[in-house]
Protein backbone atom coordinates (compact mmCIF):
# COMPACT_ATOMS: atom_id res chain seq x y z
CA UNK A 1 0.00 0.00 0.00
CA UNK A 2 1.44 3.38 -0.96
CA UNK A 3 1.63 6.25 1.52
CA UNK A 4 -1.14 8.39 0.00
CA UNK A 5 -3.59 5.50 -0.17
CA UNK A 6 -2.70 4.63 3.41
CA UNK A 7 -3.47 8.17 4.53
CA UNK A 8 -6.77 8.12 2.70
CA UNK A 9 -7.93 4.74 3.99
CA UNK A 10 -6.75 4.55 7.61
CA UNK A 11 -9.35 5.63 10.15
CA UNK A 12 -10.10 5.55 13.86
CA UNK A 13 -11.53 2.14 14.65
CA UNK A 14 -14.60 2.18 16.88
CA UNK A 15 -15.09 -1.57 17.45
CA UNK A 16 -12.58 -4.44 17.55
CA UNK A 17 -12.75 -8.16 16.84
CA UNK A 18 -11.56 -9.67 20.13
CA UNK A 19 -10.71 -12.98 18.46
CA UNK A 20 -7.99 -11.48 16.26
CA UNK A 21 -4.48 -10.85 17.62
CA UNK A 22 -1.50 -9.06 16.11
CA UNK A 23 1.31 -11.55 15.41
CA UNK A 24 4.16 -11.12 17.89
CA UNK A 25 6.80 -10.37 15.25
CA UNK A 26 4.61 -7.70 13.66
CA UNK A 27 3.85 -6.08 17.01
CA UNK A 28 7.54 -5.99 17.92
CA UNK A 29 8.15 -4.29 14.57
CA UNK A 30 5.66 -1.58 15.52
CA UNK A 31 7.42 -1.07 18.84
CA UNK A 32 10.75 -0.66 17.06
CA UNK A 33 9.19 1.89 14.69
CA UNK A 34 7.81 3.68 17.75
CA UNK A 35 11.26 3.67 19.38
CA UNK A 36 12.68 5.41 16.33
CA UNK A 37 10.14 8.26 16.43
CA UNK A 38 11.62 11.72 15.88
CA UNK A 39 11.59 14.44 18.53
CA UNK A 40 12.94 17.95 18.95
CA UNK A 41 16.69 17.81 19.74
CA UNK A 42 16.11 14.06 20.12
CA UNK A 43 14.71 14.69 23.61
CA UNK A 44 12.59 11.48 23.59
CA UNK A 45 10.48 12.51 26.62
CA UNK A 46 8.20 9.48 26.38
CA UNK A 47 7.58 6.11 27.95
CA UNK A 48 5.10 3.50 26.75
CA UNK A 49 3.06 1.07 28.83
CA UNK A 50 2.25 -2.10 26.86
CA UNK A 51 -0.86 -4.15 27.64
CA UNK A 52 -1.02 -7.51 25.89
CA UNK A 53 -2.98 -9.58 28.43
CA UNK A 54 -6.60 -9.25 29.45
CA UNK A 55 -5.47 -8.47 32.99
CA UNK A 56 -3.28 -5.60 31.84
CA UNK A 57 -6.03 -4.19 29.63
CA UNK A 58 -8.46 -4.38 32.55
CA UNK A 59 -6.10 -2.15 34.55
CA UNK A 60 -6.22 0.45 31.77
CA UNK A 61 -9.99 0.10 31.49
CA UNK A 62 -10.23 1.18 35.14
CA UNK A 63 -9.64 4.69 33.82
CA UNK A 64 -12.43 4.33 31.26
CA UNK A 65 -15.50 4.58 33.42
CA UNK A 66 -18.23 7.18 33.85
CA UNK A 67 -18.12 9.70 31.04
CA UNK A 68 -15.25 7.75 29.45
CA UNK A 69 -16.99 4.37 29.45
CA UNK A 70 -17.52 4.53 25.68
CA UNK A 71 -13.81 3.79 25.20
CA UNK A 72 -13.62 0.74 27.50
CA UNK A 73 -14.69 -1.84 24.91
CA UNK A 74 -12.02 -0.65 22.48
CA UNK A 75 -9.31 -1.38 25.05
CA UNK A 76 -10.80 -4.66 26.23
CA UNK A 77 -11.46 -6.09 22.76
CA UNK A 78 -8.38 -4.91 20.87
CA UNK A 79 -5.24 -6.99 20.51
CA UNK A 80 -2.81 -4.64 22.29
CA UNK A 81 -3.13 -1.33 24.12
CA UNK A 82 -0.42 1.26 24.65
CA UNK A 83 -0.44 4.11 27.14
CA UNK A 84 1.71 6.95 25.85
CA UNK A 85 3.33 8.68 28.84
CA UNK A 86 5.28 11.93 28.94
CA UNK A 87 7.94 13.01 31.40
CA UNK A 88 6.89 15.63 33.91
CA UNK A 89 10.33 17.24 33.88
CA UNK A 90 13.74 17.02 32.25
CA UNK A 91 16.49 16.52 34.80
CA UNK A 92 20.23 16.97 34.33
CA UNK A 93 20.59 13.22 34.87
CA UNK A 94 18.24 12.51 31.99
CA UNK A 95 20.07 14.96 29.74
CA UNK A 96 23.30 13.16 30.59
CA UNK A 97 21.70 9.79 29.79
CA UNK A 98 20.67 11.08 26.36
CA UNK A 99 24.13 12.48 25.71
CA UNK A 100 25.84 9.24 26.64
CA UNK A 101 23.49 7.29 24.38
CA UNK A 102 24.35 9.66 21.54
CA UNK A 103 28.02 8.97 22.24
CA UNK A 104 27.54 5.19 22.32
CA UNK A 105 25.61 5.44 19.03
CA UNK A 106 28.62 7.12 17.43
CA UNK A 107 27.15 10.54 16.77
CA UNK A 108 30.19 12.60 17.83
CA UNK A 109 33.40 12.93 15.86
CA UNK A 110 35.13 14.58 18.82
CA UNK A 111 34.54 16.11 22.27
CA UNK A 112 33.67 19.48 20.73
CA UNK A 113 30.76 17.91 18.86
CA UNK A 114 29.60 16.21 22.05
CA UNK A 115 29.74 19.48 23.98
CA UNK A 116 27.85 21.21 21.19
CA UNK A 117 25.02 18.70 21.41
CA UNK A 118 24.95 19.03 25.19
CA UNK A 119 24.71 22.82 25.00
CA UNK A 120 22.05 22.78 22.28
CA UNK A 121 19.79 20.28 24.01
CA UNK A 122 20.05 21.87 27.45
CA UNK A 123 19.53 25.26 25.84
CA UNK A 124 16.21 24.12 24.35
CA UNK A 125 15.09 22.72 27.68
CA UNK A 126 15.92 25.93 29.53
CA UNK A 127 14.29 28.04 26.81
CA UNK A 128 10.99 26.21 27.13
CA UNK A 129 11.25 26.01 30.91
CA UNK A 130 12.27 29.57 31.73
CA UNK A 131 11.38 31.80 28.77
CA UNK A 132 8.28 30.27 27.21
CA UNK A 133 7.32 28.58 30.49
CA UNK A 134 5.68 25.65 28.72
CA UNK A 135 8.21 22.84 29.05
CA UNK A 136 5.42 20.39 29.80
CA UNK A 137 3.53 21.25 26.62
CA UNK A 138 6.72 21.05 24.54
CA UNK A 139 7.47 17.59 25.89
CA UNK A 140 3.93 16.37 25.27
CA UNK A 141 4.12 17.71 21.70
CA UNK A 142 6.97 15.25 21.13
CA UNK A 143 4.88 12.38 22.45
CA UNK A 144 2.20 13.24 19.91
CA UNK A 145 4.79 13.12 17.14
CA UNK A 146 5.46 9.53 18.24
CA UNK A 147 1.71 8.91 18.19
CA UNK A 148 1.52 10.01 14.56
CA UNK A 149 4.41 7.75 13.63
CA UNK A 150 2.73 4.75 15.24
CA UNK A 151 -0.67 5.38 13.65
CA UNK A 152 0.78 5.63 10.16
CA UNK A 153 3.03 2.61 10.64
CA UNK A 154 0.11 0.54 11.92
CA UNK A 155 -1.92 1.46 8.85
CA UNK A 156 0.95 0.44 6.57
CA UNK A 157 0.99 -2.91 8.38
CA UNK A 158 -2.80 -3.27 7.90
CA UNK A 159 -3.37 -2.97 11.64
CA UNK A 160 -6.25 -0.87 12.92
CA UNK A 161 -5.76 1.72 15.64
CA UNK A 162 -7.66 4.04 17.94
CA UNK A 163 -6.00 7.00 19.69
CA UNK A 164 -7.96 7.99 22.81
CA UNK A 165 -7.75 11.13 24.92
CA UNK A 166 -11.04 10.33 26.65
CA UNK A 167 -9.85 8.71 29.88
CA UNK A 168 -9.45 9.61 33.55
CA UNK A 169 -5.83 10.70 33.80
CA UNK A 170 -5.81 10.67 37.59
CA UNK A 171 -6.92 7.05 37.70
CA UNK A 172 -4.39 5.94 35.08
CA UNK A 173 -1.59 7.88 36.73
CA UNK A 174 -2.42 6.32 40.10
CA UNK A 175 -3.00 2.80 38.77
CA UNK A 176 0.49 2.64 37.30
CA UNK A 177 2.30 4.87 39.80
CA UNK A 178 3.30 7.28 37.05
CA UNK A 179 3.84 10.37 39.19
CA UNK A 180 6.41 8.49 41.28
CA UNK A 181 8.23 7.64 38.07
CA UNK A 182 8.22 11.24 36.84
CA UNK A 183 5.61 10.47 34.18
CA UNK A 184 2.03 11.32 33.26
CA UNK A 185 -0.42 9.62 30.89
CA UNK A 186 -0.96 11.55 27.65
CA UNK A 187 -2.91 9.33 25.28
CA UNK A 188 -4.05 5.72 24.99
CA UNK A 189 -3.84 3.75 21.74
CA UNK A 190 -5.71 0.53 20.97
CA UNK A 191 -4.30 -1.71 18.24
CA UNK A 192 -5.88 -4.71 16.55
CA UNK A 193 -8.38 -5.57 13.86
CA UNK A 194 -11.77 -4.03 13.22
CA UNK A 195 -15.03 -5.77 13.96
CA UNK A 196 -17.54 -6.31 11.18
CA UNK A 197 -19.85 -4.14 13.29
CA UNK A 198 -17.55 -1.11 13.22
CA UNK A 199 -19.77 1.60 11.77
CA UNK A 200 -16.87 3.97 11.21
CA UNK A 201 -15.21 1.61 8.73
CA UNK A 202 -18.01 2.23 6.25
CA UNK A 203 -18.12 6.03 6.50
CA UNK A 204 -16.27 8.32 4.05
CA UNK A 205 -13.40 10.39 5.38
CA UNK A 206 -14.02 14.11 5.87
CA UNK A 207 -11.22 16.65 5.60
CA UNK A 208 -11.10 20.37 4.91
CA UNK A 209 -10.23 21.39 1.35
CA UNK A 210 -6.67 22.25 0.27
CA UNK A 211 -7.40 25.97 -0.11
CA UNK A 212 -8.60 26.10 3.50
CA UNK A 213 -5.54 24.55 5.11
CA UNK A 214 -2.67 25.41 2.75
CA UNK A 215 -1.19 28.81 1.93
CA UNK A 216 1.47 28.76 -0.77
CA UNK A 217 4.00 31.53 -0.19
pLDDT tens, position by position, 49-76: 999 999 999 999 999 999 999 999 999 9
What CATH number did the domain enclosing 82 receive? Answer: 3.40.109.10
pLDDT tens, position by position, 100-135: 999 999 999 999 999 999 999 999 999 999 999 999
Share of the chain above pLDDT 70, in %: 100
Q: Label residue 174 exposed, middle or buried (CB < 10 Å: 0-12, 13-18, 19+).
A: middle
Residue 188 has a pLDDT of: 99
Residue 67 lies in a domain: yes
Mean pLDDT of 186-203: 98
Which residues are identified as catalytic? Answer: 14, 74, 165
Q: CB-side exposure of 200: number of CA atoms within 13 Å?
A: 15
Going by pLDDT thresholds of 50, 70 and 90, the confidence category of residue 160 is very high
Residue 163 lies in a domain: yes
Residue 114 lies in a domain: no
Residue 25 lies in a domain: yes
Residue 133 lies in a domain: no
Residue 1 has a pLDDT of: 64
pLDDT tens, position by position, 28-37: 999 999 999 9
Range of the domain at 57: 3-90+143-197
Residue 121 lies in a domain: no
Give how many domains the chain has, as a whole number: 1
Residue 152 lies in a domain: yes
> What is the reported pTM?
0.97
Residue 24 lies in a domain: yes
CA distance 89 to 188: 20
Amino acid sequence: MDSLNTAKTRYTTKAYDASKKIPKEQFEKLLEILRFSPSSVNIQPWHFLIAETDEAKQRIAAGLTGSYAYNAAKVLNCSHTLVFCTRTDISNEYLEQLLEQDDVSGRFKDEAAKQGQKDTRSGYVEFYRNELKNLSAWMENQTYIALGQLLFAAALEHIDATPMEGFDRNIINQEFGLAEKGLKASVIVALGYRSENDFNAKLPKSRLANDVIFTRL
